[in-house]
Amino acid sequence: MKIYSLFEIFTSLLESFVIEGTIIGSFGSITGSIAGYFLTMYLAQKGINFEGSIKNTDLVISYVIYPDVKFSFLIISFFMATIVSTSLQYYLLYTQRDLHIMKH
């Protein structure tokens, strides 16, 4: 029977939180990127009507704006969201680990 110290239990608990956060963050990145891509595809076909907002201005632009849709935007947004969520999880893991070491 192995005896674990509180630090080992705390570290394994934080690591399991990081793994869970990475999985949830990746799932959120995938679903958010796909949903955003399809929403942008819809708005690229229908357009966004800004007539009520810019009708009384002297701008020489169309009232309807059509966003640009590219598959590369989907890939870039997925990787950006994944990198940000994963790096924040690891940052929190190591700052909490350092705080726990300093307390004891």
Encode pLDDT of 29-58 as tens digits. Answer: 888 888 988 999 999 999 888 877 777 777
**Mean pLDDT along residues 76-103:** 73
Instruction: Indicate the average pLDDT of the chain.
Output: 78
Q: Strand pairing partners for 49?
A: 64
Q: Which two tokens stand for residue 12?
A: 């394994």
Domain that includes residue 18, residue range:
6-103
Q: Is position 1 within any domain?
A: no
Q: Is position 28 within any domain?
A: yes
Helices of type H across the chain: 6-46, 51-54, 71-103
Total of domains in the chain: 1
Q: pTM of the predicted model, to two decimals?
A: 0.63
Q: Which residue has the tokens 């020489």?
A: 60
Question: What share of the chain in percent tops pLDDT 90?
Answer: 9
